[in-house]
Structure formats: C-alpha cells, structure tokens
Amino acid sequence: MDKDSSNHRDCYTIIVQRKYNHLSQTYCDHMQNTIDTNVLVIGAGPCGLFQVFQLGLQGIGCHVIEALPHPGGQCVELYADKPIYDIPGIPHILAGELTTQLLAQIKPFSPVMHYQQTVIEVSQTPQGGFMATTSSGKVFSASNIVLAAGAGAFNAVKMRVDGINAFENSQLFYSDISEPLMQSASEKMRVVVIGDTPDAIDAAIQTSPACTQLTYVHRKRRLSASPQALASLQTHIDAKRIELINGKITGFTTDDTNKKISHLSVVDNNKQEINLPVDYILARLGNSPKLNNFSDWNLQTTRHNINVEPACFQSNLPGFYVIGDINFYPGKRKLILCGFHEATLAAFDIAAKLKPDKPVHTQYTTTSTELQQRLGLT
C-alpha cells in the first residue's frame, strides 16, 4: 500500500454551475523526499477518477496529479454546467455533477491528490518502475503510471500585455486567489480582478473583504455566470465593495524602482482612459489544454496520441498505461464510456503485475465480501 499521511483529509469537491466549493483538498507538501506509490495517476478528469476507483477495488492505493486547482478536467473546465446523456443508467447528468459523483465513489480509497502540478519529466528505473518529477519539484517513485490526460494539461491563459507576465507570482496571479492576500491579510490592499469567466466573478466576490479597493475589469458587456453569482456581484457593487469597469487593460506603469507595478492602463468601452492603482492582479482568463512532448518520455505515438495495447491499455513502456482521449488503438472512440472501460482493464493488469503470485479474479460488488469491505460497506 502507499505511504500516506495520518492527517490525510478527504478530497471531496462539490461542483455546481462552475462554482467550485472546495470543502477540503489533500496535499502532501510535508513529504520532502521521493514519494513512493504503487500507481501514479496523471490527470483527475472523469477517466482518471474512475481509474482511482478501479484500482481501489483491486486493493491498490495511488497518488493523483492534476494541473488544475480542482478535479474534473475537461468536463469541469469546458462544460461543467452542460448535460451529458451517454452515461449508462443515467438519462442525463451535468458534467460538474458527474465529477462530484465520481469523487464520492473514490472517497473510501483515500487517494492522495496533488493539484496545480504537471509532470514535466518521466524516466524508467533499473528496477522496472518510473521516476516522475512535477512542475513544483515533487518526485514520485511509481511502480506503474496511468496517464489520463485527455486533451492535455490545462494551463492558465496568460495576459496579453507586453511585459506584465514578468510580475507573475509576485503581483500577478493566475491560480490561487488566496495566496497573495494571505501574506498581507493585515494590510488592506488594492486588487484588480480580470476576466470574463465565472471564476473571475467568484474571485472578485471572495477577495473583496480583504481589500481596501477591488476593481473588476471585464470586456464583455454581458456577464455569463449563475444567477446567484450575478446577484451576489451586484450586491457588492451596490455596497461599493467592488467597482466594475467594462473595458480592456492596455498597459501598466511601475514605481520609481521599476520593480513593482503601480498602475494599470485601462480603456473602457466609452474609449475613456483610466489610470488604475493596483497592488495585486488576479487574472482569471480561463484555461487551455496543452499536450506534453511525449517523445521525451520515449512513448510511441500516432497522430499525437499514444499507442496502447487494447487488451490492457499499456503503452510501449511496460508499466506505463494510457487511458482516455489521449490514447490510440484500432477502433478507438473518444468517449467517456470508453475511458471507463479502459481504466477497468488497466486496473486488472496492474493488479496482476503487482501480485504475480495471486490470481486476479473477476468479482462483483453486489456479492463480493472483499470488495464490499474495500468500499467500507461491511
């Protein structure tokens, strides 16, 4: 079994109409050395989450790496509030709700989640396993890897203002909205939130209590978000806790040392120029998927998808499995249902390799005492 923390917290995120209410989130930043695991799952979209479930039924724990700050992958990022009609036995379900249900399904197996990270390097070990390094510097030693990356790792869309991204992680933040404000909670700061996404509206609402001045800049004349979020935003505007500017950021100026942004240049929709004072910028411009260069990982590909054996969905590297939209085999269809099937067969194959002296039988959750114990039902 995997090495896990005694203070492991449940990863259970409720997602409704793209408003993420993170009840808890598991990190293992206290692990300073290599993290050992039987299986490393890359990607926490629907297929990656169902892979966790199938591994759990086999009695195999795992760690999960996800580029986004929340689970759900493409389903949540691109169409969380749209219905899906082809999940067996469920006439229709919102993509965000599907993620919520998958998280509830894997809860008994306590996977260790690592959000806002991407795998930047994978190498094989002499023992037949893998070493994987993430963008945050974490190193994993895994007997097996399951890549469930879908269309690729989602990365924040950057601001298109010359030179401004040099201030990323000091004044400009694309991900965690709380980090810059936690460092200065006692100091009331001027914050500008940018973006037309529902996440941008959430960021403005959630951040306003910590600010002396919060300005929300967006380009669209009509905002798109849930009625509840729009009503809450209007309440903050009426109370003068948030100033709303419909316009475009065109540049910035720095202080006398040129080390800190002091003002943003904004042109509103009436062509008026505004010189906006700022301490922190929270840019929530959405995310776009980007595929890794898998040739660096020695994986064989066909048209940018990774070749796998359809019997178990293993790649050309023994112990490296690929499921979901990112794999290729004859007859491949890019459907969630197919990804669930692939995760199931991959889990059986991994179990057979991890326990070579023990036959892997097909068991049924309706009748198997062993499976029901693993699910916490008995």
DSSP 230-295: HHHHHHHHHTTSSEEEEEEEEEEEE-TTSSSEEEEEEEETTS-EEEEE-SEEEE---EEEE---GG
Give Cβ neighbours of residue 136 (< 8 Å, ≥ 6 apart).
116, 117
Question: Is pLDDT of 336 > 50?
Answer: yes
Q: What is the reported pLDDT for 293?
A: 61
Same domain, 265 and 365: no
* 237 part of a folded domain: yes
| pLDDT tens, position by position, 88-139 | 999 999 988 999 999 999 999 999 999 988 898 999 999 999 999 998 899 9
For 232-254, write each residue's pLDDT tens digit.
999 999 999 999 999 999 999 99
User: Is residue 8 a part of any domain in this protein?
Assistant: no
Looking at the structure, do residues 221 and 367 belong to the same domain, yes or no? no
If asked whether residues 201 and 214 sit together in one domain, one would say yes
pTM of the model: 0.69
Confidence bin at 228 (pLDDT 50/70/90): confident
Q: Structure tokens of 229? A: 């979020």
Higher per-residue pLDDT: 10 or 274:
274
pLDDT of residue 154: 61
Query: Which CATH number characterizes residue 264's domain?
Result: 3.50.50.60
Considering the domain architecture, whether residues 68 and 108 belong to the same structural domain is answered as: yes
Nearest to 48 by CA among 82, 73, 13: 73
Residues 293-320 have pLDDT tens digits of: 666 788 998 888 899 999 999 999 999 9
Listed residues 225, 254, 285: the one ending a domain: 285
Whether residue 142 sits in one domain with residue 42: yes
Do residues 107 and 177 share a domain? no
Domain boundary among 268, 285, 302: 285
Q: How many domains does the chain have?
A: 2
**Residue 1 domain-assigned (yes or no):** no
Identify whether residues 151 and 20 lie together within a single domain: yes
Whether 125 maps to a domain, the answer reads yes
The residue range of the domain holding 229 is 158-285
| Statement: residue 6 has pLDDT above 60 | no
